[in-house]
Amino acid sequence: MEPMMRPFLLVIAAALLPVPALAANQVALDNNVFVERIQTDDSGKQRILLEEPKTVVPGDRLVFVLNYRNGGTQPADKFVVTNPMPAAVRFAEAGGSRPLVSVDGGKQWGLLADLTVAEADGTRRAAQPADVTHVRWAFDKPIPVGGTGKLMFRGVVK
C-alpha cells in the first residue's frame, strides 16, 4: 500500500490501536487477520498466499488467528475467548475447533448445527454460517501458567 497516498487513514488506524495487550501478569490475546490470495506461478500451478492486509475487497477470504498466552502467575480458569464478527465479514468456518457461536448478537450461544434463526413468517430455519454474529471458545480446563494456544476461524468480506 502507498502510505503517502492516505495519511489521513493511517492516522485513524494508529489512533484505533489499543494499548498493547501484553501486560505482565495476565493472559495476552494476540489478534492477526490474514487474507488468502491465490497466486498462479509461471508453471500455472496455484498457491494460496496469506497476507496481512491493510485493505481488502468484497469476496476476499480472511483467516482470523487468535494467539493466547498465560503470562500471569496463576492458572487461568474458565477461559473464554469471544470474537464478535465485524459487520462487513461473513463467518465461513472454524475448522475442527467447533466453537460456540451466536446468531443473535450474543444473546444465545451454541454449536452452529444446534441453532435456528427466525424467518419473517415466524417459522424457524437452521442457522447458516452467514448468520453468525459472534464466535466463542470456552475452555473446560484451566490454561496453565505459561500455557499458549491458537484459535482460528475464516470469514469472507461481504
Partner 1 sequence: MTKAPVGSAKHRKILLPSSSIVAVMAALALPAGAEAQTSQPLTRAGTLITNTATASYDTGGGNIVTVDSNSVDMHVEELLDVTVAQNGTGDVPTAPGATAQVLSFQVTNSGNGPEAFTLTAAGNVAGDDYDPTVNGIYIDSNGNGVYDPGIDALYPVGSEPLLEPETSMTIFVVATTPATVGDGDRGIVTLTAAAKTGTGTPGTLVPGAVGEGNVGVVIGASGGTADFDHAFRVAAATVTLVKSAVVLNSFGTAIPLPGATITYTIVANVTGSGSVNDLTITDSLPPEVSYQSGSITLDGGTLTDAADGDAGRFDADTVSVALGTVPGGESRTVIFRTKIN
Binding to partner 1 (CB under 8 A) within 118-157 occurs at 129-130, 136-140, 143, 149-152, 154, 156-157
Q: How many residues bind partner 1 (CB under 8 A)?
A: 88
Short-list 63, 83, 69, 54, CA closest to 23: 69
Query: 1: which residues sit within 8 A by CB, 6+ positions away?
Result: 54, 55
Write the interaction track for partner 1 spanning residues 18-37; mark x where CB under 8 A is met and - where it is not. x-xx-x--xxxxxxxxx-x-
Segment 62 to 101, residues that bind partner 1, using CB under 8 A: 63-66, 68, 72, 74-84, 86, 88-90, 92-93, 95-100
Are the CB atoms for 68 and 30 separated by under 8 Å? Answer: yes
Dihedrals phi, psi of 72, to nearest 5 degrees: -85, -170
Query: Which position among 3, 4, 43, 59 is part of the footprint of partner 1 (CB under 8 A)?
Result: 59
Shortest Cβ 118–partner 1 spacing (Å):
18
Shortest Cβ 121–partner 1 spacing (Å):
19
Query: 64: which residues sit within 8 A by CB, 6+ positions away?
Result: 31, 32, 33, 83, 152, 153, 154, 155
Write the interaction track for partner 1 spanning residues 102-121; mark x where CB under 8 A is met and - where it is not. -------xxx----------
